[in-house]
């Protein structure tokens, strides 16, 4: 995909791999919508991107609140009549040893809310723009750390651990990717997920008490591959480890599990199935 003059939203792009991706996209001539919670860091990314001769703008939102997710989508719609690429990158890490169960502004388990549910809602809100801009691409930044969703305890009220919560939320992203790809078939909008790199040198990894052993540049290469690779034109519903297509956890390919997750997600975000179908068409 030629990036010059394309409009791209990158969530979680004021730090880590998201920041590298945003700045590289700007360097390629794209108009970048930078997202994060910290305005000071956001303005720094915008300045660095604009220094490359690109257009960039910072949009603040805390994805631990569904109301803020909707506000972010509204801010995007107010600024552009097209969206060529959406990169759902924002996320919360495992929290390291002894991480306590936390909840979002809406009362949902925090990692499920931020890592998965926010991207689910944001994508749904922005699908009309993506459809109008087809061919368009959605990239979900997931992880090789995956654990099957316990549909009897999605919010992990029993036996909680930060690692379990993180891995469940990341697998949910992949189920969503495959499910959405089927719904978008024939629209010209594709969606793929990836594990960019293992234990990148990011704040998230360091906060988990892990010594980084991959660079954010390696992770950015993998994300940008899904954004730009001509070999992936028309390819959708795939999962990649770095730049290599591979298989996710078996639950991702369970049609009933995907249906259950979709139903739960629509309910938790206050969307109806009919509204969802309209956005996808």
2 lies in some domain = no
- Structural domain harbouring 242: 7-280
More confident site: 191 or 1:
191
Query: In the predicted model, is pLDDT for residue 110 greater than 90?
Result: yes
Number of compact structural domains in the chain:
1
CATH of the domain at 147: 3.40.50.720
Which residues have a catalytic role annotated?
Answer: 166
Query: In the predicted model, is pLDDT for residue 57 greater than 60?
Result: yes
**pTM for the whole structure:** 0.93
**Given this model, what pLDDT does residue 206 score?**
55
Kindly tell me the burial class for residue 258, based on how many C-beta atoms sit within 10 Å of its own C-beta (0-12, 13-18, 19 or more). Answer: buried
Nearest residue to 170 via CA among 106, 101, 111, 250: 111
Q: Are 37 and 60 in contact (CB under 8 A)?
A: yes
Tokens representing 13? 């792009």
**Given this model, what pLDDT does residue 216 score?**
87
pLDDT tens column, 193-210 = 999 976 556 666 556 566
**Given this model, what pLDDT does residue 52 score?**
85
More confident site: 170 or 198:
170
Angle formed by the axes of helices 118-132 and 162-183, nearest 10°: 20
* Mean of pLDDT values over 248-272: 96
267 lies in some domain = yes
Cα–Cα dist 35/28, whole Å: 19
Query: In the predicted model, is pLDDT for residue 166 greater than 90?
Result: yes
32 lies in some domain = yes
Q: 85: part of which helix (H) or strand (E)? A: strand 85-88
176 lies in some domain = yes
88 lies in some domain = yes
17 lies in some domain = yes
More confident site: 96 or 226:
226
Size of the chain, expressed as the number of residues it contains: 281
DSSP character string of 231-276: GGTT--S-EEETTEEE---GGGG-HHHHHHHHHHHHHHTT--HHHH
> Which of 55-59, 160-164, 207-211 has the lowest average pLDDT?
207-211
For the chain, the distance separating the N- and C-terminal CA atoms, rounded to the nearest angstrom, is: 23
1 lies in some domain = no
273 lies in some domain = yes
């Amino acid at each position: 995909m030629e990036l010059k003059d394309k409009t791209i939203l990158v969530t979680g792009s004021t730090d880590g791999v998201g920041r590298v991706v945003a700045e590289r996209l700007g360097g390629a001539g794209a108009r970048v919508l930078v997202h994060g919670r910290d305005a000071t860091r956001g303005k720094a990314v915008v300045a660095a991107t604009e220094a490359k001769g690109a257009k960039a703008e910072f949009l603040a939102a805390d994805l631990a609140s569904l109301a803020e997710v909707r506000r972010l989508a509204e801010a995007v719609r107010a600024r552009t009549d097209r969206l060529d690429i959406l990169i759902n990158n924002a996320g919360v890490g495992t929290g390291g040893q002894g991480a306590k169960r936390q909840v979002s502004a809406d009362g949902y388990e925090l990692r499920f809310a931020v890592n998965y549910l926010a991207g689910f809602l944001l994508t749904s809100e922005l699908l009309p723009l993506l459809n109008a801009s087809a061919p368009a691409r959605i990239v979900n930044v997931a992880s090789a750390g995956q654990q099957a969703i316990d549909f009897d305890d999605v919010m992990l009220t029993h036996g909680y651990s930060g690692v379990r919560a993180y891995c469940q939320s990341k697998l949910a992203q992949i189920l969503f990717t495959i499910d959405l790809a089927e719904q978008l078939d024939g629209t010209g909008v594709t969606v793929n997920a990836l594990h960019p790199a293992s234990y990148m040198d990011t704040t998230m990894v360091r906060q988990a008490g892990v010594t980084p052993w991959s660079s954010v540049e390696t992770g950015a290469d993998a994300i940008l591959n899904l954004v730009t690779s001509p070999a992936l034109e028309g390819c959708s519903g795939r999962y990649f480890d770095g730049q290599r297509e591979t298989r996710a956890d078996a639950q991702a390919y369970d049609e009933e599990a995907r249906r259950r997750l979709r139903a739960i997600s629509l309910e938790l975000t206050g969307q109806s199935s009919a509204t969802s179908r309209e956005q996808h068409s």
